[in-house]
């Protein structure tokens, strides 16, 4: 049948993933750093994804397409949420954004509340897009999430001047290497800093970065900083 359906211009797509988050039917997924319509019968043609796209890569077309299959779309979304451990509501907090900070905001006087140095959102490795404008030319920080609680100066010492990704290899129960490989491969990353705790389970995040660098085919400078549970930097 001929009906209205979306089309995605991959040349305009910046890989931010906002459209995939906005699509309640799960019709859009990120493949090799680009948004892609996975199946015609998942797309209801209502276009919730259009306003979410920051580059205008999505538009409507009239073409031959399978009719919208609500049951199949709902089953697809349920399966994705079960696999990824997501809540049944679409979470706006996963939308990719760059955080611009005024000079006064990051120059808090000594003794006052410290200013945040976070430059982008989201920060969780599982939620991060594989392509985003803020990755280009970035120094990448990959940190075990406990490290920020162990060091009072974490923002100034590690986050400042870097794009930050955090995770816990033990609690998340996923292998970060594949996601990190795509981020490194598809963006102009300058170097990588890994900050981990001294506990053995944190070795998973260091190992994932090491394997991602090898799989990406890029030779980037990288370093590992280990933090003790009392906050002391061990190496």
- DSSP-derived 3-state class of residue 200: helix
* Residue that has been written with the tokens 């660098």 in this structure: 213
CB distance 17 to 32 below 8 Å: no
Helical segments of the chain, H only: 18-22, 70-84, 147-150, 154, 169-172, 177-186, 203-216
Q: What is the pLDDT of residue 101?
A: 64
DSSP annotation of 54: S
Q: Beta strands of the chain (E only): which ranges?
A: 2-8, 28-31, 34-37, 58-64, 97-98, 120-121, 139-144, 163-167, 191-197, 222-227
Q: What is the pLDDT of residue 82?
A: 61
Per-residue pLDDT of the chain (235 residues; tens, 9 = 90+): 899 999 999 999 988 888 988 888 889 988 888 899 999 999 998 888 888 888 899 999 999 999 999 888 888 877 776 655 444 444 555 566 777 766 545 555 554 456 899 999 889 998 888 888 899 899 999 999 999 999 999 999 999 999 999 999 888 878 899 999 999 998 999 999 999 999 999 999 999 999 999 999 999 999 999 999 999 999 7
Q: What is the pTM of this model?
A: 0.61
Q: Which domains does the chain have, with CATH numbers?
A: 2-94 (3.30.70.20), 97-227 (no CATH)
β-strand 58-64 against 34-37: which pairing, if any? unpaired
3-state helix, strand, coil in the chain (%, to 5): 30, 20, 45
User: Quick one: how far is CA 148 from the chain centroid?
Assistant: 19
Distance CA 48, CA 58 (A): 11
Q: Which residues is 233 bridged to in the sheet? A: 227
pLDDT digits (tens, 9 = 90+) for 103-145: 545 555 554 456 899 999 889 998 888 888 899 899 999 999 9
* Residue that has been written with the tokens 């089953």 in this structure: 75
Q: What is the pLDDT of residue 219?
A: 92
């Amino acid at each position: 049948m001929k009906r209205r359906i979306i089309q995605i211009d991959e040349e305009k797509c910046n890989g931010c993933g906002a459209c995939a988050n906005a699509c309640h039917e799960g019709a859009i997924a990120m493949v090799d750093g680009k948004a892609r319509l996975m199946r015609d019968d998942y797309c209801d043609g209502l276009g919730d994804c259009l306003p979410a796209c920051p580059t205008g890569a999505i538009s409507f077309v009239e073409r031959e397409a399978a009719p919208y299959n609500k049951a199949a779309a709902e089953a697809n979304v349920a399966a994705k949420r079960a696999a990824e451990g997501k809540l049944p509501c679409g979470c706006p907090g996963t939308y990719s954004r760059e955080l611009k900070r005024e000079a006064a905001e990051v120059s808090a006087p000594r003794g006052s509340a410290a200013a945040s140095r976070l430059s982008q959102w989201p920060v969780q490795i599982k939620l991060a897009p594989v392509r985003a404008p803020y990755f280009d030319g970035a120094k990448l920080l990959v940190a075990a999430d406990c490290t920020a609680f162990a060091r009072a100066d974490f923002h100034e010492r590690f986050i400042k001047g870097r794009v930050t990704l955090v995770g816990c290899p033990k609690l998340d129960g996923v292998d970060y290497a594949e996601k990190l490989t795509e981020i490194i491969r598809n963006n102009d990353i300058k170097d990588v800093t890994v900050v981990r705790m001294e506990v053995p389970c944190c070795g998973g995040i260091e190992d994932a970065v090491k394997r991602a660098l090898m799989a990406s085919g890029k030779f980037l400078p990288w370093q590992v900083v280990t933090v003790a549970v009392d906050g002391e930097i061990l190496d």
